[in-house]
Structure 1
Amino acid sequence: MSLPTFSVSTTAEEVAATFAEEIRGKNVLITGTSLNGIGYEAARVIAKYANLVIITGYNAERLKLSEEALKKEIPGANVRPLILDLTSFAAVRKAAAEVNAYAESLHVLINNAVNSGGDFKLTVDGLESQMATAQFGPFLFTKLLAPKLLASSSATYTPRVVFVSSEVHMWGPGVDLDNLAHPKAEKYNSAGTYSQAKSANILFASELSRRSGGKIKAYSLHPGTIYTNGLQKEHNKADLVNVGVLNPDGTPNSKFPFKTMGQGAATTVTAAFDTRLEDQSGSFLWDCVVANEKVAPHSADPETAKKLWDITEEIVGEKFTF
């Protein structure tokens, strides 16, 4: 079967339909699935074909709204909610234990959740909250679920882990490795830290791919610019007005190429299921295709990826084994 060429205008619906047989029978976990977000849209199209879609959120009320909306639109979908607070190691361990107790295997983990800024804030574990949500929480969660992912391997299937990053990783100098374990308020800048967090996503994906030795396929991606809940938060508007993404009144700038929600989730679904990516683990995707040339040097450096991995293992107190 010849596969279609995906592009900037491809929708998640189209990607899921293309790989319906690949999705069928799979169990998928997606973090950060609030309504009006690309995580929810990815969950929606995947749920049409998958055996099980696990959706997560730290707010039980919002998570229930997502669950109800998915089940209303797709009555036959098997959707399971999971409370997950990535800013707390104890909460991550609790959520991972719940998933590991499921009878079903786990084929795909999509690390989509994001904390898009605001004032400097430390987590219960003493870490900066944006980096906790983007790097430390997902690292621990992925590590604890790795055995379940690996158990889904077969002669014809290799489990995948997807990291939703952003072109914003280019807007800064990369991850400040010296400020991770003991973050300093005077070093904090909302937009700068968000850029670091998105850089960490790319470094994590490439290093996971390398260290797993082919046992896990890992990918990172830029979804595009979408007018989601995150962009509409007050603390993000000034940053986005400054770079021209939003108008001064907070509405999308028509000169900037915004995507629809469906187009925004398309690259996530591609990374999770496109069979053409099998031999390109560790790659960065943009508009549903591999675009490693668009990764900034600081986010493509293997030595930085190794250092970030080692520092993160120390911080979370866990070492990956494959």
Structure 2
Amino acid sequence: MSTPQFSFATTAEEVATAFASEIKGKNVLVTGTSLNGIGFETARVIAKYANLVIITGYNEERLKLSEDALKKDVPSANIRRLILDLSSLAAVRKAAAEVNTYSEAIHVLVHNAAAPLGPFKLTVDNLEKQIATAHIGPFLFTKLILSKILAAGSSSYVPRVVFVSSGAHAFGAGVNFDTIGKPNEEKYQALDAYTQGKSANILMGIELSKRSNGRINAYSLHPGVIYTNINQKEESIAVMQSFGVLGPDGKPSTERFEWKTIPQGAASTVAAAFDPRLNDVPGAYLDDSTVANDAVAPHSSDPANGKKLWEVTEEIIGEKFVL
């Protein structure tokens, strides 16, 4: 096979086609698969070749719409729905327990779900909603289904965990260890909360790879600037406008950013999940479907921060995550 070269314009479909033989026979779990989002597109292109694609969401009705759309587009797809609310630790435990009853191993876990940018919100566990959804819930979920992930490993295959981060991580100061477990509404800024979650994603990709000692390869990525369902929520529009991502009309602004389509935006996720060239670079960060470690801000690649984040998150969930 000739080595595929990817660019800004590469689509998820093109990446999946290039790695069809890698996807074949795999069982993949993708979080946050609502219509008109990059998680849905990720699931759609993978479903053409995979053995099983598990899609998740916290809303049963919306999740069913995604399943119906996937089966309509890919009649041969084997799709399974899983209710997963990452903002609730109890809900995460319930979903993980269900996954652990499956007969199949999980070859690839894609952490794609995110909470919309918006006003300060506490979860049922008294955590700030963005960091809970982007990092704490995914950390617990990964821990609880670890045996399913490890079961996919073999002498010729290393299971993968993929974190959908963002280049916006570099616009913040990194994870605030003082507030991650003790939210402070007075100091809350929506964009800062978002960048903290995305910084945590990169740190976890590096730390999970390191702690697994070659048994799991984890990656993070920047999908691009994309007009998805999450940018169109009423609570998010003002924040996105203040940052210049959306214009006064609430539509994408091209003054500061070059936008990707949803198919282009999902490309890096599919590459992180299946490109065999990444086996040699566990913990890597991708942009435009290629390794872009130089684009990671120092606070999001500092090993001390990764270690601290892991330990602080263990305290928050009340469990050790030992590999």
What TM-score, normalized to structure 1?
0.98
Match of 1:318 in 2: 319
Measure the CA separation in 1 of the matches of 2:248 and 2:233: 14
1:271 aligns with 2:272: yes
Alpha-carbon distance in structure 1 between the residues aligned to 2:116 and 2:205: 20
> Please, which moves more after superposition, 236-245 or 86-95?
236-245
Pairwise CA distance, 1:235:
2.6
1:300 Cα shift? 1.1
- Cα drift, residue 214 of structure 1: 1.1
Work out the CA distance in 1 between the residues paired with 2:143 and 2:39.
21
The AA in structure 1 aligned to 2:215 is K
Q: Is the 8 A contact 2:53 2:80 kept in 1?
A: yes
- Tell me the alpha carbon deviations over residues 274-303 of structure 1, each in whole angstroms, 9 at most, x when there is no partner: 001001010110000000110111111110
How far apart are the structure 2 equivalents of 1:163 and 1:194? 14
* 1: CA distance, partners of 2:235 / 2:192: 13
Q: How far, CA to CA, are the matches of 2:73 and 2:287 in structure 1?
A: 29
Tell me what 1:36 maps to: 36
Q: Which amino acid aligns with 2:6?
A: F
1:114-133 Cα offsets, whole Å, 9 max, x none, are 00222211111111111110
What secondary structure sits across from 1:157 in the alignment? Answer: coil
Match of 1:153 in 2: 153
Aligned to 1:74: 74
Q: What SS class does the counterpart of residue 145 from structure 2 fall into?
A: helix
Q: For residue 109 of structure 1, give the secondary structure of its aligned residue in structure 2.
A: strand
Are 1:115 and 2:130 matched, yes or no? no
AA at the equivalent of 1:308: L
- Within a 5 Å distance, the mapping from 1:97-136 to structure 2 comes to 97-136=97-136
Matched position secondary structure for 1:177: coil
Paired AA for residue 203 in structure 2: L
Identity rate of aligned residues, in percent? 65
Measure the CA separation in 2 of the matches of 1:116 and 1:274: 29
The SS at the match of 1:67 is helix
CA distance in 1, matches of 2:58, 2:148: 22
Q: Structure 1: 5+ residue runs without aligned partners?
A: none
Where in structure 2 are there 5+ consecutive unaligned residues?
Answer: none
1:228 aligns with 2:208: no
Following TM superposition, the consecutive aligned residue runs of length 4 or more in structure 1 with deviations greater than 3 angstroms are none
Partner of 2:186: 186
Across the aligned residues of Structure 1 and Structure 2, the Cα RMSD in angstroms comes to 0.9
Shift of 1:238: 2.5
Displacement after TM superposition at 1:263 (Å):
0.3
1:125 is aligned with what amino acid?
A: D
> What SS class does the counterpart of residue 156 from structure 2 fall into?
coil
Letter aligned with residue 319 of structure 2:
E
Q: How far did residue 237 of structure 1 move?
A: 2.2
1:295 to 2:296 alignment: yes
Q: Which amino acid counterpart does residue 250 of structure 1 have in structure 2? A: G
Aligned equivalents of 1:66 and 1:318: distance in 2? Answer: 33
1:171 Cα deviation (Å)?
1.2
Tell me, in whole angstroms, the C-alpha distance in 1 between the residues paired with 2:119 and 2:250: 19
How far is the alpha carbon of 1:239 from its aligned partner?
2.8
Q: TM-score, normalised by structure 2?
A: 0.98
Tell whether the 8 Å contact from 2:117 to 2:239 is kept in structure 1 after alignment: no
Give the Cα separation in 1 of the matches to 2:230 and 2:266.
15
* Partner SS for 1:179: coil
How big is the shift at 1:9? Answer: 0.6
- Equivalent AA in structure 2 for residue 278 of structure 1: N
Q: 1:310 and 1:142 mapped to 2: Cα distance?
A: 15
Give the aligned partner of residue 3 of structure 2: 3
Q: SS where residue 278 of structure 1 aligns?
A: helix
Residue 86 of structure 1: how far off its partner (Å) = 0.6
Tell me the amino acid that sits aligned with residue 318 of structure 2: G
Find the aligned partners of 1:160 and 1:24 in 2 and give their Cα distance: 15
What secondary structure sits across from 1:40 in the alignment?
A: helix
Residue in 2 that maps onto 1:65: 65
- Given that residues 12 and 268 in structure 2 are in contact (C-alpha distance below 8 angstroms), is that contact kept between their aligned partners in structure 1? yes
The one-character-per-residue Cα deviations of 1:129-167 (angstroms, maximum 9, x if unpaired) are 111101110000000111111111111100000000001
Q: Could you report, residue by residue, the CA deviation over 1:245-281 in whole angstroms, capped at 9, with x for unpaired residues? A: 2211111123431101110000000000000100101
